[in-house]
Amino acid sequence: MKVPFVHLGAQFHTLEKQLVQAFVQVGCSGEYIQGDTVKEFELALAHLCQCSQVVSVANGTDALILALKVLNIGVGDEVITAPNSFIASAGAIAAVGASIRFADVGQDYNLDIQQVHHAITEHTKAIIAVHLTGNPVDMDALTKLTRDRGIYIIEDASQAIDAAYKGRQVGSLGDLACFSLHPLKNLGLLGDAGFIATNNVELAQRLRCLRNHGLISRDEAIEWGVNSRLDAIQAAFGCIKIKYLKQWTARFQNIAGYFHNNLNDFVLCPLSRADDKPVYHNFVVQVHQREALRHQLLDAGVETKVHYPIPLHLMPAARDLPYALGSFPVTEQQSKHIMSLPIYPELSDSKVEYIVEQVLKKIKKLKVPRIQ
């Protein structure tokens, strides 16, 4: 049996008729940039995120960059994020000229609020709270910390669309929330795409300007902006795909539940709070002898990945930041043991069972103790 880590073609195949129809519709309409299809998709996203405003943009990284820009964050300011995230969570901070500051994470892979507290200085303007793997950050604790300090919270919800924190949808929990609709995310389109969600009408209005050259009309720009619009064709695909998101989320959770029940005695499975709804963009386990295990699994047809093997503060790109090996022990320790199992809605029950069977078999063969 072969279990690839992702299989994007499978989802396309299921929706092929509708997607082709949408392609023809947009093609015939001649409305390729902005327009009604983009607005319709933004409304559907706002409904999903329980937010009054959604501003679609070209990708998730632009969403983060524009969120920082609209909060007037730039040179001389510090922004704190997690060192175990995807590179864009930090890259966006550098892109606006602000200083990247990291705070270590906890056993749930999310920012440790105590560590965030230690990282705050008089220059701290915002926290980028990454809901890594689709598991929400402890937003109440974070909000309590930032509220009286005038520090903004930007959610990096790229991996967490449709997740909920204490019954509230991710995307409605900070000042602004940034999402990616990259093909590999839980709601993935057929190319790059992203959006910003907020309940702040003024910020949303200015974001709509910023993503479109700063233009408030066809001819007049009120400030310097960029070109970061979502293509109408992607919005059309999004309008179709978003209708399936709840059922896909349920499948992610269903597979995660099966993994947890069958694997947790042998490998460390993800932790989440009982009143939250994580969406398992990745199902990350921790194991000893990870590379040996990954090789053996691959030999058995099960492809795994590591999200992410190099902590951000140890990237060559981060050479000028005030960090070194040892700066974030939890992140560094986890980076040696984490391993992501295949998880996507199109994965059949028999493949899910095969993954579990093979992981258990290889773990026993390697005689590795469970990570505590």
Taking the least distance from each CB to ligand PLP, the nearer of 296 and 304 is 304
Phi, psi dihedrals of residue 82, rounded to the nearest 5°: -90, 140
Minimum CB–partner distance for residue 340 and ligand PLP (Å):
12
Q: Which residue's C-beta sits nearest to ligand PLP?
A: 60
The span from the CA of 73 to the CA of 55, in Å, is 19
Question: Residue 40 in 3-state DSSP?
Answer: helix
Minimum CB–partner distance for residue 110 and ligand PLP (Å):
11
Which DSSP symbol is given to 312? G
Question: CA 312 from chain center: how many Å?
Answer: 16
The span from the CA of 16 to the CA of 22, in Å, is 10
Taking the least distance from each CB to ligand PLP, the nearer of 131 and 251 is 131
Report the DSSP beta bridge partners of residue 198: 53
Binding site for ligand PLP (CB under 6 A): 59-61, 85-86, 88-89, 130, 156, 158-159, 180, 182, 192, 194
Minimum CB–partner distance for residue 68 and ligand PLP (Å):
13
The span from the CA of 166 to the CA of 151, in Å, is 22
Taking the least distance from each CB to ligand PLP, the nearer of 86 and 344 is 86
Minimum CB–partner distance for residue 191 and ligand PLP (Å):
10
Q: Is 101 exposed, middle or buried (0-12, 13-18, 19+ CB in 10 A)?
A: buried
Q: Does residue 115 contact residue 103 with C-beta atoms inside 8 Å? A: yes
Minimum CB–partner distance for residue 234 and ligand PLP (Å):
11
Taking the least distance from each CB to ligand PLP, the nearer of 78 and 155 is 155
Minimum CB–partner distance for residue 81 and ligand PLP (Å):
9
| Number of Cβ atoms within 10 Å of the Cβ of 43 | 12
Taking the least distance from each CB to ligand PLP, the nearer of 128 and 287 is 128
CA pseudo-torsion sign 161, 162, 164, 167: positive
Minimum CB–partner distance for residue 354 and ligand PLP (Å):
27
Taking the least distance from each CB to ligand PLP, the nearer of 109 and 323 is 109
Q: Does residue 64 contact residue 88 with C-beta atoms inside 8 Å? A: yes
Q: Does residue 110 contact residue 131 with C-beta atoms inside 8 Å? A: yes
Minimum CB–partner distance for residue 154 and ligand PLP (Å):
11
- Spatial CB neighbours of 235, under 8 Å, sequence gap ≥ 6: 37, 38, 40, 41, 42, 56
From residue 106, alpha-carbon distances to 113, 127, 310 in Å are 9, 16, 17
Query: Considering only CA atoms, which of 22, 21, 6 is closest in space to residue 233?
Result: 22
The span from the CA of 66 to the CA of 210, in Å, is 7
Taking the least distance from each CB to ligand PLP, the nearer of 164 and 359 is 164
Minimum CB–partner distance for residue 29 and ligand PLP (Å):
25
Taking the least distance from each CB to ligand PLP, the nearer of 293 and 312 is 312
The span from the CA of 301 to the CA of 295, in Å, is 10
Taking the least distance from each CB to ligand PLP, the nearer of 180 and 272 is 180
Taking the least distance from each CB to ligand PLP, the nearer of 92 and 293 is 92
Minimum CB–partner distance for residue 2 and ligand PLP (Å):
26
